[in-house]
Homo-oligomer: A and B are copies of this chain.
Amino acid sequence: MGEFELLARVRERLPAGGPRLRVGSGDDAAVTVPGGATATSVDALVDGVHFRREVASPRQIGHKALATALSDLAAMGAEPGEAYVVLGVPADLDEDECLALLDGMLDIARSTGTDVAGGDVTRSKELFLALTVVGHAAHPDDLVGRGGARPGDALVLTGEIGAAGAGLVLLQNQDLSADPAFSAPIEGTNDGSTNEMGAALLSRQLEPRPRLAAGRALAVAGATAMIDVSDGLGADARHLAMQSGVRLRIQAEAVLLAAGVREVASLAERDPWRFALGGGEDYELLATLPAKRIEEAKRAVREAEGIELTAIGEAVAGEGVEIRLPGGEVLEPEGFDQLD
């Protein structure tokens, strides 16, 4: 099947766009009516670097690619608008796999109210994806960057972390995933041999969900800075601290670990805190906000996304990040993978 035919079949699958989208795929450009401000983020994913076709299905690859791109919009507190998709298709990815990949994207597009408004398909030696996502807000000041944290702000985190990293360990290690703690055939999981807890961990690794509703709720509740946890809590806290010019103090004990994370860390002979704080890809949101607005923000996140918001520390004058472990030890991650 040639590129033109594939593009035509892709276009057939695209649902009608929302009210912002005036002209979709098929013209020189998509035409949209944006909000008063737009947030635009670009992500590239390459087979063998960002995902592995051996362990993730095409549908999962498509799902995760768009979900993680949208997570950047969640971290801005933006309303999701449009996605533009570039696919580099190698000879060994057949038509059905291409369309399954697209279907994975369309699942997450539908559930988040995102229009897939355009794209391009090309031949390539390896499978790659480049995603551009555009989010909207009424005014630029409604969007939350990484640079606005101030000393005295509270540091909050949505949901639980460590699950995506634990899922990755299970995927990469047959022995661990066969452990009674996680095994027992469950339909719909990647290897058909995990129990409910194992399946949940794999799902967090292979099919993450962007916290778009929580991001908007946090923006409204006065978040001064926000970032999504993609590189790991320690590394992403550093990004936020650097751009805001503050020091972030994190009480590890306050951080909620997902079910199964301690068990996986134990089986992998890793310290559960270092494992959870260093592992990336949880796509939870880390934000700062005035301490007096914590309760309002907790209620808003619970209502919007059905998950907990936890106060895990504070911003103080200075720079960098310090993480106080339950035993009293204090870590100061310097690099991107220091904790991992």
Chain A interface (Cβ < 8 Å from any Cβ of B): 4, 22-23, 26-34, 36-46, 49-50, 72-73, 75-76, 78, 82, 84-88, 117-126, 128, 130, 132-135, 140, 143, 145-147, 226-228, 243, 336
Contacts and interface: CB of A to CB of B under 8 A. Distances in A.
A72 B132 CA distance: 17
B40 A32 contact: yes
Contacts of A26: 146, 243
Most buried by B among A30, A34, A50, A140: A34
A29 B72 contact: yes
Nearest to A22: B140
Nearest to A140: B22
B31 A118 contact: no
A147 B23 CA distance: 10
Given A29-B135, A32-B38, 18 more contacts: A23-B145, A27-B146, A27-B243, A28-B146, A29-B133, A30-B39, A31-B140, A33-B38, A33-B140, A42-B84, A42-B119, A42-B120, A44-B86, A44-B121, A46-B122, A122-B128, A125-B125, A130-B130
Contacts of A86: 42-44, 86, 130
Given A31-B37, A31-B39, A122-B49, A44 B75 contact: no
A124 B32 CA distance: 32
A35 to B, nearest CB: 8
A135 B32 CA distance: 10
A20 to B, nearest CB: 9
Most buried by B among A26, A36, A38, A122: A38
A84 B42 CA distance: 7
B73 A29 contact: yes
B41 A30 contact: yes
Given A34-B34, A38-B34, A84-B40, A29 B76 contact: yes
A147 B28 contact: no
Nearest to A40: B30
Given A4-B336, A118-B40, A123 B29 contact: no
Contacts of A76: 27-29, 31
Contacts of A118: 40-42
